[in-house]
Amino acid sequence: MQSPVLVALDYAEEAAALALAEKLSPDLCRLKVGKELFTRCGPGLVQRLQAMGFEIFLDLKFHDIPTTVAGAVRAAADLGVWMVNVHASGGRRMMEAAVAALEGYPAPPLLIAVTVLTSMSDEDLAELGYQESALQRVQRLAALAANSGVAGVVCSAMEAPALRRERGEDFVLVTPGIRLAGDAAGDQRRVVTPAAARELGADYLVIGRSITASSDPLAALERVHEEWAKGRP
Ligand SMILES: O=C(O)c1cc(=O)[nH]c(=O)n1[C@@H]1O[C@H](COP(=O)(O)O)[C@@H](O)[C@H]1O
């Protein structure tokens, strides 16, 4: 496996995203381009980051009718991204359409389904009318994703042990809500350190502000790697 660290480029301007990328290295991380940056800068920025040697996680969390999501996933594959995601709550037919859309690509992106956002707590879910805890809902959505042919899920590392047990070693677990010790959680609710995430069974860490808000992003990235190494089971 190449670097397990996926750095979230949550910026409003291309220049800021490129400046951060210049400070990092494709040997140490992959880059995540999400809704804000992609809406502002589009595929051109993804291509510029790829030209710098970075593999890209296109985090647009597609959630729509099956035909629309299939087309969006194909567009991501045509852009040559390494990972793309959809919302598991779009349901089985939507996820199956996304899987089918990638058939025939020689090197398709890893297709991942978002379960319960790491910014959500059990109380937030109750307010939406769900009777389940975050863990139970993640387990339900991960099972549906796996049965729909999706390679893995986005979840909090808190749910990783249960998913590893239930879904096996090959099911990919991508875990945001990661903070270096001492950093503010901000809007995140289910938060874990890099070492704990690895111990709990994560395959990939998504980490934004602990690196991007640091005065020395490369040093912060190196600290994430040191912590990840400590968490080796
Ligand atoms: O799909 C994601 O990447 C994602 C899913 C999720 O449940 N929670 C979550 O925080 N993310 C993303 O992960 C990143 C976390 O950023 P920080 O909270 O700054 O580390 C953001 O870019 C989010 O969009």
Domain hosting residue 71, numbered range: 5-230
- Distance of alpha carbon 133 from alpha carbon 112, whole angstroms: 22
**Is 188 a known ligand-binding residue?**
yes
- Distance of alpha carbon 186 from alpha carbon 183, whole angstroms: 9
SS3 label, residue 151: coil
Domain containing residue 177: CATH number = 3.20.20.70
Which contiguous run of DSSP H or E holds residue 173? strand 172-175
CB of 198 within 8 A of CB of 231? yes
Residue 217: name the closest of 17, 54, 60 by CA. Answer: 17
Q: Which residues pair with 207 in a beta bridge?
A: 7
What pLDDT is stored for residue 2 in this prediction?
A: 80
Residues whose beta carbon lies within 6 Å of some atom of ligand 1:
8, 10, 34, 59, 61, 85, 114, 117-118, 154, 176-178, 188, 206-209
What pLDDT is stored for residue 53 in this prediction?
A: 98
Per-residue pLDDT for the chain (233 aa), expressed as one digit of tens each?
Answer: 489 999 999 999 999 999 999 999 999 999 999 999 999 999 999 999 999 999 999 999 999 999 999 999 999 999 999 999 999 999 999 999 999 999 999 999 999 999 999 999 999 999 999 999 999 999 999 999 999 999 999 999 999 999 999 999 999 999 999 999 899 999 999 999 999 999 999 999 999 999 999 999 999 999 999 999 998 87
What pLDDT is stored for residue 222 in this prediction?
A: 97
Number of domains in the chain: 1
Report CA 15 to chain centroid distance, whole Å.
Answer: 23
**Is 124 a known ligand-binding residue?**
no
First to last CA, the chain: 16
- Compute the distance from residue 7 Cα to the ligand 1 centre, in Å: 10
Say which residue the tokens 């640091």 belong to: 214
Mutation probe of ligand 1 site: the residue of 118, 135, 150 with most atoms within 8 A of C-beta = 118
What pLDDT is stored for residue 232 in this prediction?
A: 81
SS3 label, residue 113: strand
Report CA 150 to chain centroid distance, whole Å.
Answer: 14
What pTM was computed for the model? 0.97
Q: Looking at this predicted complex, what is its ipTM?
A: 0.98
Token pair in block for residue 8:
């979230």
